[in-house]
Amino acid sequence: MSAHALTPADTKRYARQIRLNGFGPQAQSALLASHVLVIGAGGLGAPVLTYLAAAGVGRISIIDPDTVELSNLHRQFIHSEARVGHRKVDSAKARMGELNSTLDIITHPVLLTPDNALELIGAADIVIDGSDNFATRYLANDACEILNKPLVWGTILGFDGQVAVFDTMQGATLRDLYPVVPAPGSVPDCATAGVLGALCGSIGAAMAMETIKVLAGIGTPLYNAVSIHSSLDASWESIPVRRLPEREPITELGSHLGDYADALGSLRAEMNAGTPAGSDPSVTWESITPGTHLVDIRDAEEVSAGMVPGARHIPMDILLDDPGLISGNGKVALYCRSGVRSARACAQLRAQGSEVSSVSGGYLAYLSLPH
Positions marked catalytic: 190, 336
Q: Are 323 and 352 in contact (CB under 8 A)?
A: yes
**Which residues neighbour 316 within 8 Å (Cβ) at sequence distance 6 or greater?**
297, 298, 299, 336, 341, 345
**Whole-angstrom Cα distance, residue 179 to residue 243?**
11
**Among residues 108, 106, 94, which one has the least CA distance to residue 64?**
108
**Whole-angstrom Cα distance, residue 206 to residue 204?**
5
**Whole-angstrom Cα distance, residue 250 to residue 231?**
34
**Which residues neighbour 99 within 8 Å (Cβ) at sequence distance 6 or greater?**
50, 53, 54
Q: How many CB atoms lie within 10 A of CB 239?
A: 11
Residue 368 dihedral angles phi and psi, to the nearest 5°: -80, -15
By the 10 Å C-beta count (0-12 exposed, 13-18 middle, 19+ buried), 357 is classed as buried
Residue 148 exposure: Cα atoms within 13 Å on the Cβ side = 2
Q: Are 288 and 265 in contact (CB under 8 A)?
A: no
Phi-psi region of 314 (alpha: psi -120 to 50; beta: other; left: phi over 0): beta
